[in-house]
Amino acid sequence: MRLVIVSNRLPVTVVMHDGNVELREAVGGLATAIKSFLRASDGGKALGFSEVLWVGWSGVKAEAETAEVKKRLREAGLVPVSLTGEEVNLFYEGFCNATLWPLFHGFTVYTVFEAKFWDAYVRVNQKFAEVVSSLTEPGDFVWVHDYHLMLLPAMLRDASPELAVGFFLHIPFPPAEIYQLLPPSWRAAMLDGVLGADLVGFHVHEYVNNFLRSVARFLGYRLEGGVVQVGRRRARVGAFPISVEFDFFHGAAERPEVKVQMEELRQRLRGLKVVFSIDRLDYTKGVLNRLRAWERFLKEHPEWRRRATFVLVVVPSRTGVAQYEVMRREIEREVGKINGEFGEVDWVPVVYISRFIPTETLLALYSTADVALITPLKDGMNLVAKEYVSSRRDCRGVLILSETAGAAQELLEALIVNPNDESGVAEAIHKALTMSEEEQCRRITRMQSRLRQHDVVKWAVDFIQAMAVAYADNKTAVEPVRRLEGEALKELVAQFAGARRRLVVLDYDGTLVPHYPYAYQAVPDPDLKRLLSDLAALPETYVAVVSGRGRDFLESWLGDLPIFLAAEHGAYIKEPGGGWAPLFPFDMQWKDAVRKIMEDFVALAPGSYIEEKTSSLAWHFRNVEPEIGEAAANRLVEALRDMVGGAGAAVLRGKKVVEVRPAGVNKGAAAKLLTERLTPDFLLVAGDDDTDEEMFKALPEAFSIKVGRGETAARYTTPSYRSLREVLRLLAEVKR
């Protein structure tokens, strides 16, 4: 069993000089986290993995990725996915960084919606899927990371159903109202993509809830606590807050190379109090707001001038993107303004560093700074806050932290601020600089004991263990059904050819034609009509379309074919060339009373509506807010059950619909009646949704085929209406 980590970037930078290839370790949240986990788990062996591979882009454009580069990566357990320059442009800089990054952090005005970015996103995710599928075997664990690869879990699931797949998002998942801004087909594909995983992880419960709300709202899947029912599989969703390697940071101040730098820093700063921050250059990190709060602090508390300095490190990232360039200039202008206004010959209010700093320097700053000022406008977690707290050896130091960073939900003893509240942040700086040593120690100790227990190794182990449980759960649910292909398909054709009398029972929407947004669009195309006629023209071969639709629709579009039709879930049946007759005599006395109650619920839940058929009434609520709709549906079902019990009607709760029909009427009863009447020795039944399951259950002897994904009592599955048509075409062409 192997563990395959998949992320956009491999954890190395490829450096070429004089024709030589050098792999340099990359510093970054994910790379560091996984490395800590591998060190602590004996390269994954402690958890039962025979090998660990890492799949990702090497950072070198495909055009420059030589055989030597590939070989060196492979030797290090790294498998590159090659991206062309254009793909890097449209996928990485486009959809990832110009669409998903701003949108998921709530920066809606920065968000770019470009069809060609989306197309590249789909293509690149597919590329990743191909590479991962070519490496893995059933039972391997694949852990997919972050917003670059949200389509990948479902693609992997389709290609190799027996993989254990986990997905973790490192940035926030936005509220449904913001997620809704993505075009409908993109937002649905991304949710479905993520739900291909057995386990989906976020940093904090807020993002879990946001995600589940979007799933309910845009996909309508059934939720039970943190579990989403995705067809026959279940995707578990939970919070797994990432953390840091506590011992590494806590031991830093003891290491000689860090000690030297700490000493140097102290000498240079000559007793000044130090306020410190470090971020990648990014608009989400709130650097400008922070500078303004520092300026305000210096204005309102002049006693601190010459006594405190702000060391601001901003590490360049995403260089070349115009927005980032503008931001860099704005930061520089603000730093210049503050230093110009308040600075003295021997005192600089803001020490600004705009480059990557070596780890020893960072550790020395963490250990020396009196205050860490971490004020992102929005941040998935923020590891810098956790690193600062972990690094303190002297039981001193104050953390000021935005309430909008995921870390604020664990680091409760920090001075929690709102990053837009300039005066609140300025006050927090003052409070931090004047806090007693006892209070600093009390706060730091509590936070450290939490971080010691919940370090990054625990994060990875917790996730992988939860993934194993989710996978085992799904494995038992998924095993029994087979795809209708290869031997199974040959067997079907052979039995059909050798039969004396055949009956083919087919659902309509989703089975013979795609599901369209509006029901009236789903009219049969000439190919479909030809296919059904050809089948029915075979000797002793009967074809029946059994649908939830009304009689008029079926009559007007399929009435001219020599086939059986069953309308309204089998309430009415029509023989080829004959008239409609009820499945059995049923009583419709209940209809007026049911309509009246449903009308009350339409008023109660705006957006819902009633559909009336001859034999049934349905209340649809797919356009209602999910929480309101589900709650109203529960109450409606209760009210209706009390009322129609004994009146010969049944209340059914479907997907976003509550329906009342004559008791005993369902597609299963209709299919059974046809079978008893026609006594075939070959029986095929195909359908795609819950109501078709009644047919599969009523006719266990049939060749039953479920179209699409999902839980089913059918014996076989086929991916789409198209593949089912291909099967039917094979049957229509058997020798007479």
Residues designated as active site: 507
User: Nearest Cα to 130, choosing from 81, 92, 90?
Assistant: 81
Q: How far apart are CA 729 and CA 534, in angstroms?
A: 9
Dist. CA 311–CA 317, nearest whole Å: 19
* Nearer to ligand GDG among residue 298 and residue 384 (C-beta): 384
Q: Which stretch binds ligand GDG (CB under 6 A): 357-365, 473-481, 553-561, 669-677?
A: 357-365
354 near ligand GDG (CB under 6 A): no
The reply to whether 383 sits near ligand GDG by the rule CB under 6 A is: yes
Q: Toward ligand GDG, which CB reaches closer, 7 or 160?
A: 7
Is the Cβ of residue 171 or residue 702 nearer to ligand GDG in the bound state?
171
Q: Which two tokens stand for residue 309?
A: 């300095």
Nearer to ligand GDG, 380 or 548 (CB): 380
Q: Is residue 280 close enough to count as binding ligand GDG by CB under 6 A? A: yes
Kindly state the smallest distance separating residue 15's Cβ from ligand GDG, in Å. Answer: 17
Helix (H, G, I), strand (E, B) or coil at 369: coil
Q: Is residue 460 within the footprint of ligand GDG (CB under 6 A)?
A: no
Rule CB under 6 A: say whether 107 interacts with ligand GDG: no
Q: Which is nearer to ligand GDG, 252 or 644 (CB)?
A: 252
Question: Looking at beta carbons only, is 127 or 170 nearer to ligand GDG?
Answer: 170
Binding track over 21-40 against ligand GDG, x by CB under 6 A: ------xxx--x--------
One of 11, 102, 166, 380 touching ligand GDG (CB under 6 A)? 380
Angle between helices 287-300 and 322-342 (to 10 degrees): 10
Q: Report the alpha-carbon distance of residue 718 to residue 721 in Å, rounded.
A: 8
Binding mask 114-153 for ligand GDG (x = CB under 6 A): ----------------------------------------
Q: Give the shortest CB-28-to-ligand GDG separation in angstroms.
A: 5
Locus of tokens 């420059």: 64
Does 356 engage in binding with ligand GDG (CB under 6 A)? yes
Residues 385 to 424: which contact ligand GDG by CB under 6 A?
387
Instruction: Tell the smallest beta-carbon distance from residue 30 to ligand GDG (Å).
Output: 6
Q: How far apart are CA 466 and CA 143, in angstroms?
A: 12
> Taking CB under 6 A as the criterion, which residues in 47-86 touch ligand GDG?
none
Of residues 364 and 728, the one with the C-beta less far from ligand GDG: 364
Select 104 or 682, whichever has its Cβ closest to ligand GDG: 104
Q: What Cα–Cα distance (Å) separates residue 479 from each residue in 133, 402, 486, 580?
A: 19, 47, 18, 41
Stretch that binds ligand GDG, among 352-360, 388-396, 469-477, 593-601 (CB under 6 A): 352-360
By beta-carbon proximity to ligand GDG, the closer residue of 217 and 378 is: 378
Output the smallest distance, CB 546 to ligand GDG, in A.
Answer: 51
DSSP state of 405: B
Residue type, 272: L
Rank residues 148 and 667 by Cβ distance to ligand GDG and give the closer one. Answer: 148
Neighbours of 423 (CB within 10 A): 11
Minimum distance of ligand GDG from residue 453's CB (angstroms): 18
29 contacts 145 by C-beta, under 8 angstroms: no
First-to-final CA distance of the chain? 51
**Residue given tokens 């130090």 in the structure block:** 274
Give CA–CA dist 302/430, Å, rounded: 11
> Which of positions 205-244 make contact with ligand GDG (CB under 6 A)?
242
**Distance of closest approach, residue 36 Cβ to ligand GDG, in angstroms:** 11
451 binds ligand GDG, rule: CB under 6 A: no
- Work out whether strand 657-662 and strand 649-654 pair parallel, antiparallel, or are unpaired: antiparallel
Does residue 372 interact with ligand GDG by CB under 6 A? no
513: which DSSP letter? B
Considering the rule CB under 6 A, would residue 170 count as an interface residue with ligand GDG?
A: yes
Query: What is the footprint of ligand GDG within residues 297-326 (CB under 6 A)?
Result: 315
Q: Least CB distance from residue 445 to ligand GDG, whole Å? A: 22
Q: To which residue do tokens 């669409």 refer?
A: 99
Q: Which SS3 state, helix, strand or coil, does residue 621 take? A: coil
HSE at residue 365, side-chain half, CA atoms within 13 A, is 23
Q: CA-to-CA distance for 524 and 509, rounded, in angstroms?
A: 10
Task: Give min distance, CB of 366 to ligand GDG, in A.
Answer: 9
* Binding span for ligand GDG by CB under 6 A among 48-56, 188-196, 381-389, 465-473: 381-389
DSSP 172: P
Contact segment (CB under 6 A) with ligand GDG among 158-166, 353-361, 449-457, 469-477 equals 353-361
Distance CA 624, CA 607 (A): 5
Two tokens, residue 524:
């049969």
Q: Please, is 221 exposed, middle or buried when counting C-beta atoms within 10 Å of its C-beta (0-12, 13-18, 19+)? A: middle
Residue 564 beta carbon to ligand GDG: minimum distance, rounded to whole angstroms: 58
* Residue 576 tokens, joined: 């080829």
Extended strands (E) in 547-681: 564-567, 572-574, 580-582, 609-612, 617-620, 649-654, 657-662
CB closer to ligand GDG out of 271 and 320: 320
Among 278, 470, 535, 617, binds ligand GDG (CB under 6 A): 278
Is 384 a residue that touches ligand GDG (CB under 6 A)? yes
Reported as type and span, the H/E element at residue 460 is: helix 456-478
Binding flag, residue 253, ligand GDG (CB under 6 A): no
Residue span binding ligand GDG (CB under 6 A) among the ranges 180-188, 382-390, 655-663, 715-723: 382-390
Structure tokens at 72: 């060196």
Q: Can residue 171 be called a binding residue for ligand GDG (CB under 6 A)? A: yes
Task: Please give the structure tokens belonging to residue 452.
Answer: 């010691």
Chain centre to alpha carbon of residue 420: 29
How many residues bind ligand GDG, per CB under 6 A? 21
Rounded to the nearest 5°, which phi and psi values hold at 196? -70, -15
13 part of the interface to ligand GDG, by CB under 6 A: no
CB of 503 to ligand GDG, least distance (A): 57
Three-state DSSP state, 232? coil
Q: Which of 62, 135, 357, 466 binds ligand GDG (CB under 6 A)?
A: 357
Give whichever of 218 and 246 is closer to ligand GDG, judged by the CB atom: 246
Measured from the CB of residue 455, what is the shortest distance to ligand GDG in angstroms?
13
Stretch that binds ligand GDG, among 218-226, 355-363, 423-431, 645-653 (CB under 6 A): 355-363
With contacts defined by CB under 6 A, name the span among 111-119, 333-341, 379-387, 531-539 that binds ligand GDG: 379-387
Positive or negative: CA dihedral 266, 269, 273, 277:
negative
Number of Cβ within a 10 Å radius of residue 130: 13
Q: Is 379 in the site for ligand GDG (CB under 6 A)?
A: yes
Cα–Cα–Cα angle for 482, 483, 484, rounded to 5 degrees? 110
**Residues ≥6 apart with Cβ < 8 Å to 475:** 162
> Toward ligand GDG, which CB reaches closer, 284 or 309?
284
Q: Report the largest interatomic distance among the alpha carbons of the chain, rounded to a whole angstrom.
A: 103
For residue 464, give the nearest of 74, 49, 108, 179 by alpha carbon: 49
Distance between CA atoms of 715 and 736, rounded to whole angstroms? 27
- Give residues in contact with ligand GDG (CB under 6 A): 27-29, 32, 170-171, 242, 278, 280, 315, 356-357, 359, 362, 379-384, 387
